[in-house]
Structure 1
Amino acid sequence: MQSTFVCLAALFAHVQHACAQTVVNGQIFTNGLAIIDAPASNSSLHAGSTIQVAIDVSGDGKLSQSASIPGSSQSTRFDSLETYLVSYQKSQNLTVSSGPGLLTRESGSTVKHWNYNVSTCVPAGSYNLTFYEGSRIDGQAYFSITPVPVEVMNDNPSGACSEGMNTLQDYPQRSSSPPSSPWLSSTASGSSVFPSSTGANSSPTSM
């Protein structure tokens, strides 16, 4: 079916709430430059195990490798890309990747990988693996938020989390992203990924 963009937009300052994104052939296209290869929407994350985050930063081959490095002079480029595991219901906001580490690793690769250990302290429930992306498209600055719903499985939590924990902020999270991915044509077909209703209501203080 034809994919649709389903978030509400404010009538001023081009401010939008974090909302559904588009899946095409298993890839999640953010409304910025990133394309999420893994994990898939609604994946189960098991406490005590490692998940791999994989992000195509080439726009399916349309963007030069230098544009993924923060500080690039390209008119279309990444400025930042960070990831958090968030749930308002569970009062969890855990850093998965912050700073330039994700974009600067694996020099020369068009897909960036990041291994994240889901701590045994993370309580079971619905979360969003949320991507915060600063970018420029044809010189215009944007800030996109992409929440990917996931489920954390944990039969025996080890106690309250402390390492990597951030304070929750008020919902809704706001962004200033373009209406759709610049890599998708108007005729692209796909499905929509909706953020978890329990995981969406949070954002990291560092953003």
Structure 2
Amino acid sequence: MNFTIINGQIYTPGLAIIDAPQPYTPLGGETLQLALDISGNGHLPTTPQPTAATQFHSLTIFLTSLATGKNFTISNGTTPTTNNTYVGPVLDLEPSSTVKHVNWIWPACFVGTGQDDGGKGSARGEYNISIHQGFRWEGTDYYTVFDLPVEVTNDIAEGEGRVDCGVLENEWVEWGVYRE
């Protein structure tokens, strides 16, 4: 996969610029942390402008893996009733900031050391942070999907804030056919 990386920033095929993490980064710890610049490095307004020729409509994030067959919602604008790891609409985070910081608490199926730990951490492995963007560019509306490869390999400790993975997991769709 080719990436356009300039001064550590990853340019997506949309308006978002990823500040962190970098491609193929091993992840773990308390949360999955993302930093997304939504201002085009200071060139775009960060508040909706109904008549602006270039602006965001939506920014949605998923964590997906072909290797594990998992697809987790990180943010989709809908609050699950039992999910305290909910991020919310990314564009609404930190209203005064041009960089949106997402700190998503790993759900329970990621807990483990990354070594043979008796079946814990069954969801660990290779993933894509899948960034879906709806936006207007010079008067034309677009929708793009950008996948940033990462690996969930580092320690993730048990904790009270971890919800069941089923609360955040979406049905996996492969080649237009639903898996059962």
- Per the alignment, do residues 157 and 25 of structure 1 end up closer, same or farther by CA in structure 2, a change over 3 Å counting? same
Instruction: Give the Å deviation of 1:116.
Output: 0.8
What one-letter code is carried by the residue in structure 2 that aligns with 1:89?
Answer: A
Instruction: Give the Å deviation of 1:21.
Output: 3.4
Q: How does 1:21-170 map to 2 (within 5 A)?
A: 21-46=3-28, 49-66=30-47, 72-99=50-77, 101-122=89-110, 123-153=123-153, 161-170=165-174
What one-letter code is carried by the residue in structure 1 that aligns with 2:151?
Answer: E
Runs of 5+ consecutive residues of structure 2 not aligned to the other structure = 78-87, 111-122, 159-163
Question: Larger relative CO (CA 8 A, sep 6+): 1 or 2?
Answer: 1
Q: In 2, are the aligned partners of 1:85 and 1:94 still within 8 Å (CA)?
A: yes
Measured in 1, the distance between the counterparts of 2:94 and 2:50 equals 17
Give a deviation string over 1:158-195, Cα, whole Å, max 9, x none. 9x8311100112349xxxxxxxxxxxxxxxxxxxxxxx
- Per the alignment, do residues 138 and 156 of structure 1 end up closer, same or farther by CA in structure 2, a change over 3 Å counting? closer
Over the matched positions of the two proteins, sequence identity in percent amounts to: 39
Q: In 1, are the aligned partners of 2:30 and 2:157 still within 8 Å (CA)?
A: no
What one-letter code is carried by the residue in structure 2 that aligns with 1:163?
Answer: V
Q: How does 1:183-194 map to 2 (within 5 A)?
A: none
- Per the alignment, do residues 59 and 155 of structure 1 end up closer, same or farther by CA in structure 2, a change over 3 Å counting? closer
Calculate the TM-score normalised by the size of structure 2: 0.74
Indicate the RMSD between aligned Cα atoms, in angstroms.
2.5
Q: In 2, are the aligned partners of 1:56 and 1:110 still within 8 Å (CA)?
A: yes
- Per the alignment, do residues 88 and 60 of structure 1 end up closer, same or farther by CA in structure 2, a change over 3 Å counting? same
Measured in 2, the distance between the counterparts of 1:125 and 1:162 equals 18
Paired residues in the alignment total 150
Instruction: Give the Å deviation of 1:131.
Output: 0.2
Measured in 2, the distance between the counterparts of 1:52 and 1:64 equals 24
Runs of 5+ consecutive residues of structure 1 not aligned to the other structure = 1-18, 173-204
Measured in 1, the distance between the counterparts of 2:125 and 2:50 equals 39
Measured in 2, the distance between the counterparts of 1:60 and 1:155 equals 33
- Per the alignment, do residues 27 and 145 of structure 1 end up closer, same or farther by CA in structure 2, a change over 3 Å counting? same
- 1:186 matched residue in structure 2: none
Instruction: Give the Å deviation of 1:53.
Output: 1.0
Instruction: Give the Å deviation of 1:59.
Output: 0.3
Calculate the TM-score normalised by the size of structure 1: 0.65
